[in-house]
Amino acid sequence: MTDAQSTELMPDASVADPYGSLDPATLRHVDSLKWTVYGEGIIPLWVADMDYPVAPPIVAALQDRLGRGLGYHQLLGDPTLGGQLRDHLATQGLTDLPAEGISFLPGVVPGIYAAVKALTEPGEPVVTMTPVYHPFHLSITDQGRRVAAAPLREGERRWEIDWEALEAATEGSRLLLLCHPHNPTGRVWDEGELARLRDLVLARDLWVMSDELHADLRYTGRAFEAFAADPQVRAKTITLTGPCKAYNTAGLGIGAMVGHDPELVQRVKKAAGGLMGHPSALSVTMWQAALREGGPWLEGMVAYLRGNRDVLQAFVETQLPWVRSFPVEATYLAWLDLRSHPRAGDIQKFLLEEARIAVHDGPVFAPEELKPQYQGFIRVNFATSRALLIEALERMAEALGREEVVQS
């Protein structure tokens, strides 16, 4: 790509990039998983962490908390965070959530595992739509259940639910693990899809675990509609949420499991027994600050990420037209189909060695038997500075361009 072309990809080169000073030498700190798994010189675009500093109101709240000691937090009956969360979730359609319908977790993933354990028996099929964030299928197989997979299908402009596959997968199952917004395709299931999903769930009398962790990172311009926004499905739905994607605070570990039936919430919680643990005092302070004062920062962040998303999509369309990619509606993760490339069979390794970028390999997002179907796909985390993103994309295009692509 010429310099002129890369400048065109910057939405407005005259506006200073607020994250333009992000420096790999500083980011590659021993504290960072993302930056230390791969060696010097590699641009890491894999694990879902953003490269940006934490929102200033959160830093201030944490500093204040440190000045007051770190004893057990008033967690179980914490009126502040519980109330804030109920107000926030009400804006997404989870209205009338009872106070006892909230249970805090040390992270969202333990909630996924607990839902599978509580609501199914070993050997049973558990439904999920693939590709999917790997703890979804791992929570099923690690606990001796079977994945009843409903692969998504490629539509004209977006990844879509394959209703036939989903209907077949739900037959004989009792639990659906839903990812909404969906990692790794970036879909936000729309009103029509949610309505049809609810009909199916009611017809099959399924439990639903809806992981809505990415709900606040949307580019749709529409309010987010939670799966359990419809009262008809509330009695059988557990929703998981947390601040770690929107506010980039995964290292503090906290999440929540919420449901309109407090008994269901308790049943899922109890399934983990004493193994669940509890969130740290600092994570509670962080989430309170995020909900109280983080809004303007988040708004700026979503605008910045939308810019990166557009840069990535424009780059792929102009420089790598044989790569299949749809602009994501949420998350900072892009799902790219590179199956036409001669090195599709070891694409992650090829990009690591030849382009010096680290991406997530497609098969990660599928259970064992479906992994071959996703070979040649990659997930790209675009939450870095625009300059680093463009550098990574240029390296990728240059390396891929060394071999001729034969399009089918």
Ligand X SMILES: Cc1ncc(COP(=O)(O)O)c(C=O)c1O
> Is it true that the peptide bond before 181 is cis, omega within 30 degrees of 0?
yes
290, 98, 93: which is closest to 210 by C-alpha? 93
Work out whether strand 43-44 and strand 357-358 pair parallel, antiparallel, or are unpaired: parallel
Query: Which range in 32-40, 61-69, 104-112, 297-305 contacts ligand X by CB under 6 A?
Result: 104-112
> Is residue 329 close enough to count as binding ligand X by CB under 6 A?
no
> Is residue 250 close enough to count as binding ligand X by CB under 6 A?
yes
Residue 213 Cα distances to 41, 154, 196, 316, 370, angstroms: 31, 24, 22, 27, 25
Query: Which range in 50-58, 107-115, 119-127, 345-353 contacts ligand X by CB under 6 A?
Result: 107-115
Give the DSSP per-residue string, 184-209: TT-----HHHHHHHHHHHHHHT-EEE
By CB under 6 A, name the one of 9, 43, 45, 48 that touches ligand X.
48
Query: Which range in 29-37, 105-113, 278-286, 346-354 contacts ligand X by CB under 6 A?
Result: 105-113
The CB-of-200 to ligand X minimum distance in angstroms stands at 21
> Is residue 107 close enough to count as binding ligand X by CB under 6 A?
yes
44 or 319: CB nearest ligand X: 44
* 339 vs 37: CA distance, rounded Å: 26
User: Is the separation of the CB atoms in 228 and 237 below 8 Å?
Assistant: yes
> Is residue 51 close enough to count as binding ligand X by CB under 6 A?
no
Instruction: Report the residue closest to ligand X, judged by CB.
Output: 107
Work out whether strand 175-179 and strand 360-361 pair parallel, antiparallel, or are unpaired: unpaired
User: Is the separation of the CB atoms in 350 and 402 below 8 Å?
Assistant: no
Q: For residue 166, how far is the Cα from the chain centroid? A: 21
- CB neighbours of residue 26 within 10 Å: 11
> Is residue 268 close enough to count as binding ligand X by CB under 6 A?
no
> Is residue 133 close enough to count as binding ligand X by CB under 6 A?
yes
> Is residue 211 close enough to count as binding ligand X by CB under 6 A?
yes
DSSP 330: B
By CB under 6 A, name the one of 54, 58, 109, 351 that touches ligand X.
109
The three-state secondary structure class of 19 is: coil
Residue 286 Cα distances to 84, 85, 226, 395, angstroms: 12, 13, 23, 37
The CB-of-138 to ligand X minimum distance in angstroms stands at 12
The CB-of-353 to ligand X minimum distance in angstroms stands at 25
321, 326, 275, 304: which is closest to 106 by C-alpha? 275
User: Is the separation of the CB atoms in 277 and 142 below 8 Å?
Assistant: no
The CB-of-305 to ligand X minimum distance in angstroms stands at 15
The CB-of-107 to ligand X minimum distance in angstroms stands at 3
Pair of tokens at residue 218? 């949307």
By CB under 6 A, name the one of 201, 213, 217, 286 that touches ligand X.
213
By CB under 6 A, name the one of 89, 177, 179, 338 that touches ligand X.
179
> Is residue 282 close enough to count as binding ligand X by CB under 6 A?
no
Dihedral in degrees, nearest 10, Cα atoms 107, 111, 117, 123? -90
101 or 107: CB nearest ligand X: 107
1 or 138: CB nearest ligand X: 138
> Is residue 118 close enough to count as binding ligand X by CB under 6 A?
no
128 or 183: CB nearest ligand X: 183
> Is residue 108 close enough to count as binding ligand X by CB under 6 A?
yes
The CB-of-298 to ligand X minimum distance in angstroms stands at 17
Query: Which range in 74-82, 106-114, 344-352, 369-377 contacts ligand X by CB under 6 A?
Result: 106-114
90, 81, 382: which is closest to 223 by C-alpha? 90
24 or 135: CB nearest ligand X: 135
For the window 223-242, what string marks contact with ligand X as x by the rule CB under 6 A?
-------------------x
Give the interface with ligand X as residue ranges (CB under 6 A).
Answer: 48, 107-109, 133, 179, 183, 211, 213, 242, 244, 250, 255
